[in-house]
A and B are shown apart, each in its own frame.
Chain A
Amino acid sequence: MPGYISIRNLQKYYGHYHALRGIDLEIARGEVVCVVGPSGSGKSTLIRCINRLEDFSTESAIHVDSVPVLPGANLAKVRAEVGMVFQSFNLFPHLTVRQNIMLAPRRVRGTSKTAAAAQADQLLARVGLASQAEKYPSGLSGGQQQRVAIARALAMEPQVLLFDEPTSALDPEMVGEVLDVMRDLAQTGVTMVVVTHEMGFARQVADRVIFMDGGEVIESAPPAEFFSAPRETRTRNFLHAVLDH
C-alpha cells in the first residue's frame, strides 16, 4: 500500500553529480521519521524534494496524500499542506513575529485578519513565546526564532512537517527548547520527516530512523533496532563515529 508520502525512484542530479540515486520511501500518515547520515549524503536534498524546493528528474515520482508533487497549479496546494522548518529559520525580517505567522493563512487560505491574529497568538503560546508577538525576528535568540518558524509552519495546519536540520544553526544551550517543541508536535499525529544530527531525539521520538549515505537509503529501522543492532556496516561505522566518544 502506498504511504501518505510516497517516493518512487527519486533521482537528483546537480550537473553531473548524482546526488540522489533512486530513493524509494513510503511514509505513513502520522509517522515520525528521522533521517540521519553524514554531510553530503543527500538527506536535506531528499526532504527538499518532498515539497519540490529541489527539482527532480521526470523518471521520479513523489506523491503527498496521493497528489503528485509536480510543478504547476497543484504545487502551491501541496506546499500549503506540507510545512517546512529550515536550518537557518528564514523568518521574514521586515515583519513582526505575529505577522510572520499570519502571512500565509491570510494570503493562501484567505483567513480574516482577526482570526489569523488569534491563531498566531495561540501558536506562540504553544511554543512558549506568547510575550514576543510584537518583536521583530532580529530581537530574538536563535532558539526563539526557530520556535517562531515552527509556529509559522503550523499556522497552515499542515498534514506534514519537514524539518531540515532545525537545530544545527543553534547555540548548544538553545537546542533543547526547540527539540522540546518538536517532541510535543510528534504527539499530535502530524506526519514528521526530520533531518537531524540529534541522535538522542531520533532515538526517543522517531517511529523509524533512516540512514542515508552517498545519495542512497542504506538502512531503515525502528530506533530501538537501528541504534542497538544496525544491520549494515556503513550504519555501524556512522553510529560509531557520532556516538562513541
Chain B
Amino acid sequence: MDLFETFFNLEVLARSFPMLLKGLWLTLELGAASILAGLVLGLALCMMRLYAVSPVRILTRIYIDVFRSIPLLVLLIIVYYALPFIGVRLSPFVSAMTALTMVSGAYTAEIFRSGIEAIPKGQFEAAAALGLGHRQTMVDVILPQSIRMVIPPLTNNSINVVKDTALASVVAMPDLLKQATQAQALAANPSPLIGAAAIYLAFLLPLVLLVSRLERRLSRGKA
C-alpha cells in the first residue's frame, strides 16, 4: 500500500463523504450557536467588568480570567462527565455548547473591553455633555465605533471556536471529527481524516485571510 492509497484513497473518501457532511453540519451548528451565545455573554460580561458595582466587577474579572485559563477539554469533561454527579445531565450538544460559550464569552468580553477602552475619553464626555444617558452613550456613540475595531479579533475568536468544536467528539458528539474517525475505523483507512482536514480548511482558511485583510485595512485607516 503506498502513501497515496493510504491517505488519499478516493474510493474511501467518496464512501465516507455523506458521513463527513453530516458531521460538518453539526460542527457548523455547534460553532454558530456557541459563537452567538458567546457574543451575548461576552458583551454582558464586558459591561459588568467595566461598569457594575465593585463586587460584581471583581467577580466578573475572576470569571473572565478563570475561563481564559482553563483548557477547554478539561471544562468540557467537567460539564459532561462531572455535572451528572450533582444531577445536571446535559446532552453532548448542550454540554459542548455550554463549555464553548463559557470560554468564548470570556475571550469576547476582553475583546469588547479593548474596543471600548480604545475609544477616546472625549467621546464619552461629548455624549455626557449632551445629556445622553449611559445606555444611550453605549448604544449610539461608543459601541458602533468599538465594533469596527473589534471585528478582526472577534473573527479570530470565531475561528478558534469552530476549531474547538472538534473537542466535542470526546463527549460522543457526532461532529465532523467524530464522523471522520468513525469512517476511518469502518474503512480501516485514514483518508476520511484527511477529508475532514480539507473541509475544516475550506471553511476556516478564507476567514483567516479575511481577518488579515480587515486588519490591514483598519491599520491603514488609522495612519
Contact A92 to B131, CB < 8 A, known contacts A86-B122, A107-B136: no
Asked if A146 is at the interface of the complex by the 8 Å CB criterion, the answer is no
Asked if A84 is at the interface of the complex by the 8 Å CB criterion, the answer is yes
| Residues of A110-166 whose CB lies within 8 A of B | 149, 152-153, 156, 162
B133 and A92 contacting across the interface, CB-CB below 8 Å: no
| Residues of A24-56 whose CB lies within 8 A of B | 51, 53
Contact A84 to B140, CB < 8 A, known contacts A90-B123, A92-B123, A94-B145: no
Choice from B120, B123, B125, B132 contacting A108 with Cβ under 8 Å:
B132
Closest to B145 in A: A94
Asked if A93 is at the interface of the complex by the 8 Å CB criterion, the answer is yes
Asked if B151 is at the interface of the complex by the 8 Å CB criterion, the answer is no
B131 and A79 contacting across the interface, CB-CB below 8 Å: yes
Asked if A76 is at the interface of the complex by the 8 Å CB criterion, the answer is yes
Chain A residues whose C-beta falls within 8 Å of the C-beta of B122 in the assembled complex = 86, 88, 90
Residue-by-residue, is B126-147 near A (CB-CB < 8 Å gives 1, otherwise 0)? 1011111100100011001100
How many A residues have CB within 8 A of the partner chain? 25
A77 and B131 contacting across the interface, CB-CB below 8 Å: yes
A156 and B125 contacting across the interface, CB-CB below 8 Å: no
B129 and A82 contacting across the interface, CB-CB below 8 Å: yes
Chain B residues whose C-beta falls within 8 Å of the C-beta of A162 in the assembled complex = 129
Asked if A83 is at the interface of the complex by the 8 Å CB criterion, the answer is yes
A92 and B129 contacting across the interface, CB-CB below 8 Å: no
Number of contact residues on B: which range applies?
10 to 19
Asked if A19 is at the interface of the complex by the 8 Å CB criterion, the answer is no
From residue A84, how far is it (CB to closest CB) to chain B in Å? 4
B130 and A104 contacting across the interface, CB-CB below 8 Å: yes
Contact A156 to B131, CB < 8 A, known contacts A93-B145, A94-B144: yes
Chain A residues whose C-beta falls within 8 Å of the C-beta of B123 in the assembled complex = 90, 92
From residue A80, how far is it (CB to closest CB) to chain B in Å? 3
Chain A residues whose C-beta falls within 8 Å of the C-beta of B136 in the assembled complex = 107-108
A92 to B132, CA, bound (A): 13
A152 and B130 contacting across the interface, CB-CB below 8 Å: yes
A152 to B126, CA, bound (A): 10
B133 and A86 contacting across the interface, CB-CB below 8 Å: no
A84 to B130, CA, bound (A): 8
B141 and A53 contacting across the interface, CB-CB below 8 Å: no
Asked if A103 is at the interface of the complex by the 8 Å CB criterion, the answer is yes
A90 and B126 contacting across the interface, CB-CB below 8 Å: yes
Choice from B130, B141, B148 contacting A156 with Cβ under 8 Å:
B130
Chain A residues whose C-beta falls within 8 Å of the C-beta of B132 in the assembled complex = 76, 103-104, 107-108
B130 and A86 contacting across the interface, CB-CB below 8 Å: no
Contact A53 to B129, CB < 8 A, known contacts A86-B122, A92-B123: yes
From residue B156, how far is it (CB to closest CB) to chain A in Å? 23
A76 and B144 contacting across the interface, CB-CB below 8 Å: no
Binding site for B on A (CB under 8 A): 51, 53, 76-77, 79-80, 82-84, 86, 88, 90-94, 103-104, 107-108, 149, 152-153, 156, 162
Report the 6 A-B pairs with minimum CB-CB distance, sorted nearest first: A80-B131, A90-B126, A104-B130, A90-B122, A84-B129, A79-B131
